[in-house]
Amino acid sequence: DTEVTQTPKHLVMGMTNKKSLKCEQHMGHRAMYWYKQKAKKPPELMFVYSYEKLSINESVPSRFSPECPNSSLLNLHLHALQPEDSALYLCASSLYRGGQPQHFGDGTRLSIL
Amino acid sequence: GQQLNQSPQSMFIQEGEDVSMNCTSSSIFNTWLWYKQDPGEGPVLLIALYKAGELTSNGRLTAQFGTTRKDSFLNISASIPSDVGIYFCAGQPLAATNTDKLIFGTGTRLQVFP
């Protein structure tokens, strides 16, 4: 059982829609991460939050907007996505920034029509 | 982005056989992690390694942190059908500027036949 919870598990949206992905952890971890994973590929880092502040943005397009309301929650706001953005979006957390291991959620499978 | 060399890319084995896979890098790492990912799920941590030469077991799984700090190995003994999945190594480079990032291997897809 994963201790990082992601909702929804699946999401289908049109290119003009606005939606949000949610991630929650109650392990007391102070670093949280968003990854994008395409089929048969390893996860690719998108964003890193440390103590609720954005510390790394891996040159992600602005149509992806992360938010960390508190130490347990991480959101990813989506707007005007493209078909190539269809992927599995994974959230992870670790005790602190740079600390290992990272623990992953089960992801949100996103499909853009 | 940077990826680790992970081999083999895929394995098709019979139930009961032992499995070995490895990851190599051209640079030094201070942490090695091994994850398993099932279809439609996120990566699950199997073993974490923090010291060169460290050998750690988790049930039928054994992993080692290479003494050169540039490689790691995962062995699965007496494979069973539920071992099916994709295994990823991941490492944290020693260089300070990269300590936030995990570098992932390309994955080893394991199929187990009864």
Res B95: pLDDT: 72
Averaged pLDDT for residues B51-73: 96
Give the pLDDT confidence of A37-74 residue by residue, as tens digits.
999 999 999 999 999 999 999 999 999 999 999 999 99
Residue A3 predicted with pLDDT over 60:
yes
For B10, the enclosing helix (H) or strand (E) is strand B10-14
Contact flag B106-A43 (C-beta cutoff 8 Å) = no
Asked whether the beta carbons of B24 and B5 are under 8 A apart, the reply is yes
Residue of B nearest to A109 (CA): B40
Of A43, A90, A100, the CB nearest to B48: A100
Contact flag A2-B104 (C-beta cutoff 8 Å) = no
Res B40: pLDDT: 87
- Average model confidence (pLDDT) across chain B: 93
Chain B environment of A106 (Cβ under 8 Å): 40-42
Res B113: pLDDT: 94
Shortest Cα distance, chain B CAs vs residue A34, angstroms: 12
Averaged pLDDT for residues A90-100: 92
Shortest Cα distance, chain A CAs vs residue B12, angstroms: 16
Two tokens at A66?
A: 């992360």
Averaged pLDDT for residues B58-85: 97
Residue A6 predicted with pLDDT over 60:
yes
Sheet with B61-65, side-by-side order of all strands: B5-7, B19-24, B71-76, B61-65, B55-58
Res B98: pLDDT: 57
* Residue A13 touches chain B, beta carbons under 8 Å: no
pLDDT band at A98 (very low <50, low <70, confident <90, very high): confident
**Residue A18 backbone dihedrals phi, psi, to 5 degrees:** -120, 130
Chain B environment of A11 (Cβ under 8 Å): none
Contact flag A44-B31 (C-beta cutoff 8 Å) = no
Asked whether the beta carbons of A105 and A2 are under 8 A apart, the reply is yes
Residue of B nearest to A102 (CA): B45
CA distance B62 to B74: 6
Averaged pLDDT for residues B54-83: 97
Asked whether the beta carbons of A74 and A32 are under 8 A apart, the reply is yes
